[in-house]
Amino acid sequence: MSEITGSATSTTGNGGKKVISLVASCSPYQIEAFREIDHGREHFGVDPRYLKAPLSLTPETLHLVRRELEEIFFEDVALHVRHKDRFRGGWLVNGTITKIDTPRLTDFELKPDYLMDFFNKEIMVYFESDSWTRDGRGKIIGYIYREWLRLHGGRPSFQRGAFFAKPAQIHSTGPQGLDQITTFHHDLSNYITTRSQDLVHFKQWDYKPPWFSTKPKEESPELQNDSEVKSWKDHRFMVGHLFPALYMVFDDQCLPEPSPHVSPEGLHGNDRIYYLEGVIEREMAKCTVLLVKTGDEAHLSAPVSFEPLFDAGLALNVNRDDCDDGYGDGETAVRVNLDVAVRFLWGLLQKERGTLRGLGEIARELEEEQDMLFEKWLDKVMRRSHEVGFENNYHTWSATRRAAARLNGEAFDVDQVFPFWERLRSWHV
């Protein structure tokens, strides 16, 4: 298993115990509070009826604007996360994806700043074949990303690297077949769980703009790690609850060959975008994936059962020599469509959060943290807009027009009804 050398260092302290030293990272929720608007340019993808200042800012209308600003904030966060390198290229075979080239994790130590990538992920995703095209892999992560955001109402937890899954590419020298992958996954889960007790110190820093910069001081970084020396786990870098119990496999049967299509003549602008999105949507509806149980379920409220998938007619033919097709709880693997797999795991997670008090409290704390980060951003936006004028900060300019359109049951811009994270056609944005 190979990873790029990172910037972590180790020191000795805290009673002689080894302490990992890392530079604190910026929060993915740090969105600029001021975005300049060019009133002289033409605005595309908007309803021109709302371009003129549409609302008088009374206490009632300010409440509507606040709601639109909240939507804009989480739309921008979702777009910002897609731009981060470990997310943007981390799922691509010719990108920065984790590569597994040994059948077992023996005499192995993952570099600390790459260990972070395994924390706060619900499951592992293993790609068995490296023959996937960049385009095909991009469609998969785009589809998973969209489904995960839909399930969370557009605002899943991205704090401290959180996401649905951590991907890895299995090479020819890595584990072969589901039995070997399950053994490797046991090794990996145990390793990450053990390492979650390592002591970590996050060095704090501040942004110092160059002398010619006009960036206000209030845009200093929102760091997502404090400076206290404590374990990964106490820093809220944790092993995902479902992570030891389940994993997902993309094999060479998962993604069908794309169907040839010819775009109808005369399609332009949004009409062409929607048409091409429909093509990808129909293609990805055929994408399948393997869900595999490891047997490591003692920490769950109840054993994982694939029986509901069989009962609902959602289980497909596994079609592998290393796994029998069958029915019910005795099955360790099942093939389902990708959207079914994501929703199934979401349902398990919600069940566990509802049953296990501690897990539910963590989820609520993460939502409260998101609310706090939004409030901090909103305060900055409003202060800057009062300084420069609501019509001169793009955030408030857009929010007032969205609010006016929503009052009439309409939309001001495309993102109000079709945010960028909904789009499947291009992962690289």
pLDDT at 347: 97
Rounding to the nearest 10 degrees, give the CA dihedral for residues 269, 273, 275, 280: 170
**pLDDT tens string 6-27:** 344 555 555 668 899 998 888 8
**Which one-letter amino acid corresponds to residue 66?**
R
Q: Where does the pLDDT of residue 323 fall: very low under 50, low under 70, confident under 90, or very high at 90 and above?
A: confident
Whole-model pTM: value is 0.89
The CA–CA distances, whole Å, from 87 to 79, 81, 93, 395 equal 11, 7, 13, 26
Q: What's the CA gap between 285 and 393, in Å, rounded?
A: 40
For residue range 357-377, list pLDDT tens digits in order: 999 999 999 999 999 999 999
Please, which pLDDT band fits residue 334 given cuts at 50, 70 and 90?
very high
CA–chain centroid gap for 196, Å, is 21
**Phi, psi at residue 319, to the nearest 5°?**
60, 50
Question: What integer pLDDT is reported at residue 196 of this predicted model?
Answer: 95
Q: 271: pLDDT confidence band, cut at 50, 70 and 90? A: confident
Instruction: Please enumerate in sequence order all residues whose Cβ is within 8 A of that of 213, keeping only pairs 6 or more positions apart, or say none.
Output: none
The whole-number pLDDT of residue 5 equals: 30
- 235 vs 276, residue with greater confidence: 235
Three-state DSSP state, 292: strand
**Residue 429: what pLDDT?**
44
Beta strand residue intervals within 48-139, DSSP E: 98-100, 121-127
What's residue 33's pLDDT? 92
Q: Which residue has the tokens 């060095």?
A: 203
Residue extents of the structural domains in the chain? 9-25+53-57+89-355
Query: What are the tokens at 371?
Result: 């609310």
Q: How confident is the model at residue 133 (pLDDT cuts 50, 70, 90)?
A: low
Q: What is the pLDDT of residue 397?
A: 94
- Choice among 26-40, 162-176, 289-303 with the minimum mean pLDDT: 26-40
pLDDT digits (tens, 9 = 90+) for 190-204: 999 999 999 999 998
